Structure 1
């Protein structure tokens, strides 16, 4: 049973939308339902809906259908709308003679206008039927969209021409007229069939190109979803049996041969090989793996035979989570998109008003009805808000898809705004700037305490901790001590160390500052090492010295972050002497050391109180609160799940240079969004007055409107060429 108050989430594929106004209508209808929060994306043709337990998915579908559109909780078709290409081909074939005859008087043979009427009838009412049908559906629901403008413009041009042919002088054999780039002072001896046909052809072409471009824009996500293996060789009782990947369970052992994709996330239990992880991290250099190493589903075994124990299956795998993050990012809306939505929601009614004013204004000015109608038609045709509706979602679709290919996952579109404002980047030391794999380099027992006993007690106590220092101590202890003693009463003191009862004694492993320590501590710290003290029943028995090497790419990453205008700060719970040695190696001058995990949030808050806009880069469980508190959280994908959940951006690869790439990509995506919106607004701001003043032929208006949508999508596709500097 579902508890009361539980919120569910579903993605609905929406069919029948033809412009941003349609998306706004669907969104408003869904949001009118009690407890429902919906966001409709015109580019992806999906609605992301959160709804309470008392609401059924069928209720959501019914609300969409009541608005005149279709909906289903399935993935939308990836191909252009059925028959669109055929309609375009027929319209172009039949429409070309109509346009040519209408524009070139020398080709106008006796009776040409009646041939044009026959051809135009098919183009306007058969090929252009989707526009008229959608306009009629919207009218029944008391709404107006882009299709309303297109249908009215085309229908008026066609019907006027029909009137002139049947009741005017245009039907006389031998009639000729020329073509003008501006509406001509027409009479009933003129026809506008080339306008009706031209607008239909250009808009069908624009919609077809738009559909193809949107498909290309979503190619990265589709490729990610298709990466997984379809079946797998599972080992059962020592015998291989091929089963569908869906049948894998946690703990199953499966075989991966050279060239095969790894079926799911797991740990290598047998064999050694090189694994190509480029599909997940964007890194082209294969990674060597052997027993004990973790591997990710969807990556490719480039070398020897591996036997892997499954750790995560289905929706829990890293690849599935990556795809989910990308889809969520693409279904959201940035602040700039919400502005465009508000504009497009009122745009069509305003344009209809402008068209009426244009018609009446020219009639009052004494111009012929034909001229006034033509100017009004040009207003209707050029003012389609499609470009506004596509400006943000297509850029976001391409940008987040490209990021996924490079191992950069954007959690939501609002993140783009944050990257523009950030001026300070706080870098967690362990696992972010350094490798995070500490090694025990010195065991320093007090006189009279055997080295093996010191290691055994410390290793036993640290086995319950997930801290990198604990892992280093345990690895060395297990390698040198035959069997570690049993432990009871384990307690983890965040940022301070651990205590445990070992062989009936209370063993403490933690900061030397909190225990009586040896003068060797300062000496070890000046070597850039981290020192922990070990005490039994409150009496120190020795020191352990561990070291963590700086990643070879960290210094370059810091330099690139500075080039982006960011001020780096090194944050660590380590001693200041150790922290400053690392900071000097990578080129950071501002260091905050000796910070407990709970205090990391306070450091972020302090920097924000100083007026800085803070980005935080971290990978550990103790970094999660600070990642959430920062204006922009960048989680290393090699770290803890809780850190990844808290971050705004996830860097799948453990390379700090990717942080610079992520910020560059986010900023470039935001610039593309703003550029798209500028040109979409500018197009209408310039085009509408020209049309209203009678300076624009409706056929050219149709071509310009179709071009504006294609331009916006094509401009967004340029993001596919983004090149990282980290690879």
Structure 2
């Protein structure tokens, strides 16, 4: 197919076929969907399309369930002879003579289909009902003149295929034929079937990953967008699909994220819808990153070629423009008569070949009943070109010559306006594509960290194989100075590994047998072998890259402001341009050329590109910069939330403290033997996963104490543990366990416990239900940087809190060391989220910092969840920000980075609006009285520079340093505002006088 007319020809021809009910043909996607019933066949449809001169290949056939009816099935006699088409099977011939004779005999078949369904009636988001469940079809037939039951069965089955009903349903019933007669029959169920209209939605695409229920999320790479209006157009187009719940298109990242109901639509339909809107689309998961980088590079080179070609054709016209200013230029008198014809010849290919993409973009937007940036450029350049072409042709016809009079040029020609306008717009697109490429450099750097090969031990031999061929459980050899190819666990050897490229940790980390290693990190000293645990897309590096790419393609809430403006911006600009033209021409009585140039200047200077780039470019650079510091931000929303928080709540264990507690004291009570006390306590804690339990078991191992073997172990969240040993139930935990559950008196050891707790130690009591046997104290020291980070956050105006399940005295002792005065103690794990909710109830935005596992509910409840990690659990879903290092100073860095990013977004939005507020009035020649008149081609250059300036301002985030002010970035708003203002004034003055038109 070559155009929409091909669609119409195929559609109307197929509709004339008998049995065809509906035909849908799409030229952009190359799809044809035919809804038909017997007697038309797939073969007949393909041949009909081929007869029109097109190629057609069957993709799939889906039989849709008909509505269930309560009416009885009619017993219709169907003639078998001639009921089948040549393409369909015919019953196999029998080897017996009697059967061969019967083949030519007249036959009549009574064929019945009884259908019933068991399941649920559901409604989609538009309120339309559909059936979900098991549909059963039972067929029954009577065949006259059949010689055997097998023949009767085959004839009925063949008839089912002829009528295209045998594979409509998931069949339970089978064809029945009698064993001793020439007829077969089956009685349909006598129970009435309720009338239900069954809607069968399209099946999900093969290989699609279904999320919770039938809700599915997919990310698509989108090509061909030129401005934020394109993104809005694609969103509106995709949202028209039935089953699409949400569609977000990121212009800067060139990605679309769609949430849809897999029962109602699929990825294939969404890609088709995007292509129908005039853009390229493919599933992001299926895209080859290397191919994508090549595509972006080729796109950049294409813009460069188009710019250089357009510039080469436009430069002679620049010389023609100078002839109006400088009478001393060589060959002036000789060149003036030739200006018209030469300009016409040079401007035409620029307009219709180099500028063809603008017309295609405008056509796509008009098909969707909207306007975009391509529409503005196409309208503006066409106005200047066609006005000039008409004047040139009229002059040529009247004068009988293509040249001007001797020593004069043909008047009222503005070919240079359309040519330079396209040249400058493409220049802006080229610079913009280069700048946008730099925004994703962090991802490129991370991709570059990946090793290309791995040395794998197979069958006793070491083989160097490509990284893509490494499988789970492979044993890999790593030598000094080599990159670790994938994630795994060390099985032999030891070494020091530099993980700074992923975690930001500057010091090498010692690795020995049983330790985890991360792919793409650098082995420093020793050699070792490790077993691969995560390969391909499951490695830490791959997950980090995916997380950053997802974040760069996300949308911050502040983007909604730009989207609202962009949605009405282009139509509003066209309205202002038309009003400008009418006011100058009809009210102010200006020449037609003057009014047209004012119209064109308004059209081309106002572009939503800068608005569309304002937020996503800043987020893309920011997320990449965060990754360099070991801070993984999951999108624009967490960045914006980080700027609004007024309080930070820290979990204690593993967040403020090191998370590796040690036993400091063992105090006997009724049981004075410390070894026996430790034996029982270690036996109880051996089956617990709490960090304090690990400390006790580790201490027992170091002391050579063998834990007792307990049974009926039970963990009591927020209290401790219980188990049975030697027929006695033992309990080990905090005061609440002993007082509230066991009902024992702790006054005998309370004074000792207080002393330990005031020293920042956690005291745990061992009891047997009747008496307290003793206590064990464990201490967890705070991290070296905790107090420094807390102080920095407080200087930034943030309130700090510590939340813990420890008792008040222990908690306050630790909090005092960290510099925190607000302590939430004795909080059960399930109550942490409620405590965060209480703080939010006071009207403040709260950030929760925890390990992402025990604190998951609190992280989810907080306005911003910050998950601490060791760098191997980057797939945490609870935190909006993941810290690769367990260092609280990264919380400070994350907040500072977020504040700088949001500041850049606001600056970009200001530049975009400031540019249009100043530019549109000057372009409309409102200030013509004071000598400020903006020529259209210079308006186009100003428009191009506005988009570039926004991207360049976002790129300044790359200079962010946690402990140093980015003075270049800080000064940028003043400098750029001054430059933008100077550009407008300078261009307007340059356009005044002879150039005004």
Comparing 107-116 with 670-679, greater Cα deviation is found at 107-116
Is residue 2:878 matched to residue 1:646? Answer: yes
Whole-angstrom distance in 2 between the partners of 1:552 and 1:268: 29
Mapping of residues 263-662 of structure 1, within 5 Å: 263-364=485-586, 365-446=588-669, 448-481=671-704, 483-515=706-738, 517=746, 518=749, 519-536=751-768, 538-619=770-851, 621-638=853-870, 644-662=876-894
CA drift of 1:624 comes to 1.1
CA RMSD of aligned residues (A): 2.5
Alignment partners' CA distance in 2, 1:468 and 1:66: 57
2:383 to 138, 142, 156: 156
Secondary structure at 1:79 match in 2: helix
Structure 1 residues 206 and 620: CA distance shift in structure 2, 3 A: closer
Q: Distance between the aligned counterparts of 1:51 and 1:575, measured in 2?
A: 48
Equivalent residue of 2:296, what SS? coil
CA distance in 1, matches of 2:863, 2:212: 33
Q: How many angstroms apart in 2 are the aligned matches of 1:715 and 1:312?
A: 39
Structure 1 or 2, whichever has the larger Rg, is: 2
Moved more, 194-203 or 315-324: 315-324
Q: Is the 2:428–2:945 Cα contact (8 Å) retained in structure 1? A: yes
**Residue number in structure 2 paired with 1:101:** 320
CA distance in 2, matches of 1:252, 1:478: 33
Note if contact 1:620-1:640 (Cα within 8 Å) is conserved in structure 2: no
Please tell me whether the aligned partners of residues 362 and 378 of structure 2 are also in contact (alpha carbons under 8 angstroms): yes
Higher RCO (C-alpha 8 Å, min separation 6):
1
Cα distance in 2 for residues equivalent to 1:10 and 1:227: 27
What is the aligned counterpart of 1:710 among 943, 948, 959?
948
Moved more, 536-545 or 422-431: 536-545
Q: Distance in 2 between matches of 1:419 and 1:533?
A: 41
Q: Please, which of 476, 486, 491 is the counterpart of residue 254 of structure 1?
A: 476
Contact preservation (8 Å) 2:518, 2:872 = no
Aligned to 1:19: 227
Count residues in correspondence: 716
Name the CA shift for 1:535/1:306 in 2 (closer, same or farther; >3 Å).
farther
Runs of 5+ consecutive residues of structure 2 not aligned to the other structure = 1-203, 205-209, 739-743, 927-932, 965-997
Greater displacement, 42-51 / 455-464: 455-464
1:462-486 C-alpha deviation (Å, 9 max, x unpaired) = 2222211111112122333465443
In structure 2, C-alpha distance between the alignment counterparts of 1:457 and 1:92, rounded to whole Å: 86
Alpha-carbon shift at residue 420 of structure 1 (Å): 2.1
1:272-329 CA-to-partner distances (Å, cap 9, x unmatched) read: 3222222222233322333343332222212221333334344333323322222222
SS in 1 for 2:449: coil
Q: Deviations over 1:519-563 (max 9, x none)?
A: 432222222211112234554333222111111111110111112
1:369 positional shift: 0.7
Shift of 1:424: 0.9
User: In the alignment, which residue of structure 1 is the partner of 2:217?
Assistant: 9
Bigger shift: residues 632-641 or 437-446: 632-641
Matched, 1:42 2:251: yes
Range with greater deviation from structure 2 (659-668 or 167-176): 167-176
Q: Which residues of 2 match residues 684-703 of structure 1 at below 5 A? A: 684-693=916-925, 695-703=933-941
Flag the 1:174–1:581 CA change in 2: closer, same or farther, 3 A: farther
Distance 1:463 1:99, change over 3 A: farther
**Deviation larger for 658-667 or 112-121:** 112-121
SS at match of 1:121: helix
In structure 2, the CA distance between the partners of 1:8 and 1:650, relative to structure 1 (3 Å rule), is same
Which residue pairs with 1:721 in the alignment? 959
Q: Deviations over 1:33-67 (max 9, x none)?
A: 22212110000111111222222211011111121
Contact 1:620 1:639 survives alignment (8 Å)? no
Partner of 1:183: none
Give the structure 1 partner of residue 428 of structure 2. Answer: 206
For the residues of structure 1 that align with 2:376 and 2:779, how far apart are their CA atoms? 69
With over 3 angstroms needed to count, the CA separation of the structure-2 counterparts of 1:242 and 1:334, relative to structure 1, is same
Deviation at 1:251, TM superposition (A): 4.5
Which moves more between the two structures, 620-629 or 291-300? 291-300
Q: Given the alignment, which residue of 342, 345, 349 partners 1:115?
A: 342
User: Is 1:444–1:544's contact at 8 Å kept on the other side of the alignment?
Assistant: yes
Residue 79 in structure 1 maps to residue 297 in structure 2: yes
Deviates more, 1:324-333 or 1:245-254: 245-254
What is the Cα deviation at residue 250 of structure 1?
4.8
Greater shift after overlay, 472-481 or 166-175?
166-175
- The alpha carbon displacement at 1:245 in A equals 3.9
Structure 1 residue 236 displacement after superposition: 5.0
Q: Write the distance in 1 (CA, Å) between the matches of 2:874 and 2:253.
A: 29
Q: Distance in 1 between matches of 2:686 and 2:874?
A: 21
Report the Cα offset of residue 138 of structure 1.
2.9
Match of 1:64 among 259, 274, 279: 274
Change in 2 beyond 3 A, CA 1:634/1:378: same
Greater mean deviation of Cα atoms: 450-459 or 201-210: 450-459
Change (3 A) 1:49 1:649: same
CA contact (8 A) 1:621 1:643 kept: no
Q: Is the 8 A contact 1:617 1:633 kept in 2?
A: yes
Tell me, yes or no, if the aligned pair for 2:489 and 2:530 is still in contact at 8 Å.
yes
Q: Is this contact kept in 2: 1:164–1:190, CA < 8 A? A: yes
User: Is the 2:658–2:781 Cα contact (8 Å) retained in structure 1?
Assistant: yes
Matches of 1:266 and 1:491, distance apart in 2:
33
- Using structure 2 for the length normalisation, give the TM-score: 0.68
Residue 224 of structure 1 deviates from its aligned partner by 2.3
- Give the secondary-structure state (helix, strand or coil) at the position aligned to 2:694: helix
Aligned-pair CA distance for 1:343: 1.6
Q: Is the 1:619–1:639 Cα contact (8 Å) retained in structure 2?
A: no
Distance 1:232 1:113 in 2: 66
Quick check: 1:634–1:649 contact (8 Å CA) kept in 2?
yes
Tell me if structure 2 keeps the 8 A contact 1:164–1:171.
no
Cα distance in 2 between the residues matched to 1:339 and 1:646: 27
Tell me, which stretches of 5 or more residues in structure 1 are unaligned?
Answer: 178-187
